[in-house]
Structure 1
């Protein structure tokens, strides 16, 4: 009985030793496999079954005549020089307002009517001064004739001349005041004196804001309307850092809004702000080639910029894959082995992408169809 116990203990010890030895061999195998993976982390080997399922095709670096199209977006704005604040030269009460927010108006159209007794006084002062000036003119001419025959003194003639000059200057000043409030002094007489003046539109455009209402008393410093001249419409678009050097003043662009993407208009880049903002983009300013009512202030817009075509080297788009913001191609090494190689890309179109420093791919066989499948296999293997 004692002998059996010793035998079982010896067997157990032998089992433990064998188990420890097996675990050590397994750890060595994992270590060796890990070292192998690191050495081949940029290559992948396919089985015959994998090759059949992926159905790969190959290509090579090609010389191409390519054109770059940059897609931009932004907003329509109005240049400050084309936003006008309209006020009345003289104070008074608003008698009527002839427009509403968003109204279109033509140059010379009456926007509002202002009424005040001071307008009557101004016209009255003009007519009185005009009559006094005529009397002063006649007196001055009479005194000149009398002075010639020494029938009046030089002092009397000089006084008559001074009175005439003073009244003439006063009349010119009143005439100018009447002009700037919209009253034609030349046609003014005692029968057409009025208490109201009109506020006229200085250009053709749109009403952006109205700051007054009927019956309100306004001062000369008060703004009545904010008007927009559509000629000053500007398109401010964002240009990402990678494309800044390709966008230049004078370039023609095509713009359209989100509501009518099929209706496109021509514009020209008039300014590029030489500063990259926090979001990694600069601002380019464009101006429409002709006034287009389809674009209004604050509207979101899209734009396309065609960069001059150039003769360069590239690959079909599907041959280039992206991973973690970097671009790669797969080189066919033969015997079902494929190597992932980083590349630097340039301009692209709907079929091809430019490859910069393409000499590293010269005379090499590059995977076209199936490149993305190889990327997935490689990354799964690495994981």
Structure 2
């Protein structure tokens, strides 16, 4: 009989132990930065090594509750909802191209043979007055000899104006062939003609093309080098036909070069293509920008075309709004460490901000940093999409 009396008490103890074990086993620990890591006991995250935190599923079933350390580690930040002025912009794709107005073409002013190239590769920077090539020309030597002769004639007959006139004519011919005043003066002093002449750069720039090689014969007017001045460049942007109406000459746009945030600058549209490209059905518009010593032709840019100004609009950073096939939603703060997902309707946006047209009535604080982390936490804890309970038809 004594043994039988012990059985119920043992069963009660066993049940209590099982309940306690069940309570313990229900506790889950996760990583703030990697919510996919879930363990039944405390420890460290196998990915980043951070201490795992206890998951507490309390409060409203639609709420996500975070500890102070989770909020700090997850960089959860909020802002107070308020209306502000919002400038809407249209984002255009563009590219940096060479400004042909600053292109300098170095041509041969006389027929002859290229004896020496002082610049033999493209991409090299040259300065105004720097030697570019040396050319042999019998025509030029004849002009030099004629000028030397007229200088001697003037020296021999200083009172004869005819010789002075002939000397000036010979001097002008040399100028037409690219001789500088200093070269002409040196020629008059030395009295020695040369069949070769060194041609110098008439402007500073980057060598873009070299069309001759040493020993090659060229004719008068042959293009030898092309110099590009990259101090000022063009930005060409693509515009669709339905956007042309919002663009006119003088429209101020903001230009951001991909990868060079510090090079952002404003410019005015100074050219609108008169016809649409039949293959792409787009129109090109152009603006001039300063290189600032960093920009190069071929770089991709983003052009922000102003559209309208909206006063007293509620706008949020783009990362604050989570959009998927269900719609758009944001996370709002309902209390200390408590956050809930809220469906919103969106309007115009630019490269940084987006307008919220409805859904934030009676909301004080909205999460602007860490919204995706909150969604991950919700899915981890609730096992459902935070937008599943929203009525999309009312937005």
Name the counterpart of 1:84.
104
Q: How big is the alpha-carbon RMSD for the aligned residues of Structure 1 and Structure 2?
A: 4.4
Name the counterpart of 2:126.
105
Name the counterpart of 1:172.
168
Q: 1:75 to 1:85 in 2, by over 3 A?
A: same
Distance 1:124 1:328 in 2: 85
Name the counterpart of 1:270.
269
In the comparison of the two structures, how many residue pairs are matched?
A: 276
Name the counterpart of 1:211.
211
Question: For the Cα contact (< 8 Å) 2:205–2:228, is it kept in 1?
Answer: yes
Deviation at 1:265, TM superposition (A): 3.6
Bigger helix fraction: 1
Deviation at 1:102, TM superposition (A): 0.8
Distance 1:197 1:267 in 2: 46
Question: For the Cα contact (< 8 Å) 2:95–2:236, is it kept in 1?
Answer: yes
Distance 1:239 1:371 in 2: 38
Name the counterpart of 1:16.
none
Question: For the Cα contact (< 8 Å) 1:315–1:353, is it kept in 2?
Answer: yes
Deviation at 1:74, TM superposition (A): 1.7
**TM-score, with length taken from structure 1:** 0.57
Deviation at 1:68, TM superposition (A): 2.5
**TM-score, with length taken from structure 2:** 0.55
Deviation at 1:186, TM superposition (A): 3.0
3-state SS of the aligned residue for 1:89? Answer: coil
Provide Cα deviations, 1:186-231, integer angstroms capped at 9, x if missing partner: 3324544322212111111100010111111111121101111223
3-state SS of the aligned residue for 1:203? Answer: coil
Distance 1:279 1:372 in 2: 39
Unaligned runs of 5+ in 2: 1-59, 64-80, 330-342, 367-374, 376-384
Name the counterpart of 2:179.
182
Q: 1:283 to 1:216 in 2, by over 3 A?
A: same
Name the counterpart of 1:238.
238
Distance 1:322 1:206 in 2: 49
Unaligned runs of 5+ in 1: 1-51, 56-60, 141-163, 330-339, 379-383
Q: 1:328 to 1:301 in 2, by over 3 A?
A: closer
Question: Is 1:199 aligned with 2:192?
Answer: no
Question: Is 1:284 aligned with 2:304?
Answer: no
Question: For the Cα contact (< 8 Å) 1:254–1:305, is it kept in 2?
Answer: no
Deviation at 1:244, TM superposition (A): 4.8
Name the counterpart of 1:149.
none
3-state SS of the aligned residue for 2:231? Answer: helix
Question: For the Cα contact (< 8 Å) 2:253–2:269, is it kept in 1?
Answer: no
Distance 1:85 1:130 in 2: 33
Please show how residues 1-383 of structure 1 align to structure 2 within 5 Å.
64-99=84-119, 100-135=121-156, 138=159, 164-165=161-162, 167-180=163-176, 181-182=178-179, 184-187=183-186, 188-240=188-240, 244=244, 249=250, 251=252, 253-257=254-258, 260-273=259-272, 277=277, 279=280, 281-289=282-290, 291-304=291-304, 309-313=309-313, 345-347=347-349, 350=352, 352-353=354-355, 373=388
Deviation at 1:94, TM superposition (A): 0.9
Stretch deviating more after TM superposition (213-222 or 123-132):
123-132
Distance 2:174 2:262 in 1: 48
Task: Return the structure number with greater relative CO, CA threshold 8 A, min gap 6.
Answer: 1
Q: 1:241 to 1:229 in 2, by over 3 A?
A: same
Provide Cα deviations, 1:64-119, integer angstroms capped at 9, x if missing partner: 42122443322211222222321111121111111121110011111111122333
Distance 1:186 1:242 in 2: 63
Question: For the Cα contact (< 8 Å) 1:314–1:353, is it kept in 2?
Answer: yes
Provide Cα deviations, 1:154-208, integer angstroms capped at 9, x if missing partner: xxxxxxxxxx43x443322210122343253233245443222121111111000
Distance 1:232 1:348 in 2: 27
Name the counterpart of 1:34.
none
Question: For the Cα contact (< 8 Å) 1:321–1:372, is it kept in 2?
Answer: no
